[in-house]
Amino acid sequence: MRYFIIAGEQSGDLHGSNLVRELLRKDTEAVISCWGGDMMQSAGAELLMHYRRTAFMGFVEVAKNLGSIRKLFSLCRQQITSFKPDTVILIDYPGFNLRIAEFAKKSGLKVFYYISPKLWAWNEGRVKKVKKYVDRMYIIFPFEVDFYMKHGVEAVYMGNPLLDETAKRLRAIPAESEIRKSLGLEEKPVIAMLAGSRKSEVRQILPRMLKVVQDFPGYQFVLAGVKNLPEELYNGIIKDYPVKLVRDKTYEILYISEAALVKSGTATLEAALIGVPEVVCYRGDFISMIIAWTLVKVKYISLVNLIAGYEAVRELIQYSLNRKNLVHELKALLPGGSKREKVLRDYARVKQILGPEGASERVASDMVQVLKQGGV
């Protein structure tokens, strides 16, 4: 069968790549084209558009790029029509993907949504589009079942694919001494810094993180960069701060870290699954944050807290993301700190809630079965 998959950011590329591998295993005649990234391409999909060209963050950035977004949408429709897929699989990225869902459904295609948009956080009205245009919604957080049930949508929870990815990465990870040697690190204990995967995120968040470096002279700060952003961007912000930039080695860096400063998003859950106490950080442009504060309906922004149902990790958002708060929270998480053991216990509870590994395989099997049976 023929599959057209759309992911609009790095985390979607990661989960999409694991889904691609499993679809190719379950359907030996599968042909897969995608909008995604390097990982989906390496897994066996034909990459038609890289997420670097489609990732727009915040209300202001989206507004500035409406013309480009319209052109991308038109191109995507053309490529779907030419490819003639049996199904369109949408991964998060709601502003774009829900419009594609409408187009695909009206074109007579089966529409699967893998990794639900965070409609429970804001813009709940979009559930109507899901109900109308999506044939099967695969969710990755247990609490989403009740949300969709409330709106008359049967959502399917088959586990969280990040469990699979984390376990796979950790099984292949070398000893700490080898990691330190390969990354050129000192012998000091490490504090990780994860500032996001978009330019606008890094520009807003990294300067705030850097302000705490001088307060922890006994630690080595390592910035986990991403390869889709230029090294000049990072170096232009780091300047004279004693911070080591290492790109595309996030799991290795977290594995050897005593604690981490992490931009809200998928990385917060990755840090929890690896067992690294963290402070969750977020800062956006002023207009976007005013709009977000008006619209967002959830108590927490980090996945760890949303899954736990309470504040397992501290969130520093906008003006609370400052040196004083960062220093206070980081000290509490380092060995001997007042919050460290509780955070680690809460991480264990989060893992228990998420359930067993194997989500990507179960979802791929279900998709293939549904397509072969011709139902939902």
The pLDDT assigned to 197 comes to 85
Range 68-76 average pLDDT: 86
Residue 68 parent element (H or E) = helix 66-83
Instruction: Tell me the two tokens of residue 99.
Output: 């419009």
The pLDDT assigned to 232 comes to 96
The pLDDT assigned to 170 comes to 94
The pLDDT assigned to 43 comes to 97
Asked if residue 65 has pLDDT above 90, the reply is no
Shared domain check, 329 and 189? yes
Shared domain check, 205 and 111? no
CATH number reported for the structural domain that contains residue 71 in this entry: 3.40.50.2000
Shared domain check, 173 and 151? no
The pLDDT assigned to 2 comes to 98
Shared domain check, 246 and 214? yes
Task: List, for residues 145-169, the tens digit of each pLDDT value.
Answer: 999 999 999 999 999 999 998 999 9
Range 36-53 average pLDDT: 94
Band of pLDDT at residue 20, cut at 50, 70 and 90: very high
Shared domain check, 132 and 17? yes
Shared domain check, 203 and 144? no
Shared domain check, 171 and 141? no
The pLDDT assigned to 194 comes to 98
The pLDDT assigned to 120 comes to 77
Full domain range(s) for residue 111:
2-159+358-373
The pLDDT assigned to 102 comes to 97
pTM for this one?
Answer: 0.83
Shared domain check, 258 and 147? no
Shared domain check, 86 and 101? yes
Shared domain check, 279 and 193? yes
- The percentage of residues in the chain with a pLDDT greater than 90, rounded to a whole number, is 79
What is the rounded CA–CA span in Å between residue 30 and residue 21? 10
DSSP states of 315-359: EEEGGG-SHHHHHHHHHHHSTT-SSHHHHHHHHHHHHHHH--S-H
Instruction: Tell me the two tokens of residue 140.
Output: 């990755």
Shared domain check, 245 and 279? yes
Number of domains present in the structure of the chain: 2
Shared domain check, 173 and 93? no
Task: List, for residues 86-135, the tens digit of each pLDDT value.
Answer: 999 999 988 899 999 999 999 999 999 999 988 876 667 789 999 999 99
Residue 190 parent element (H or E) = strand 190-194
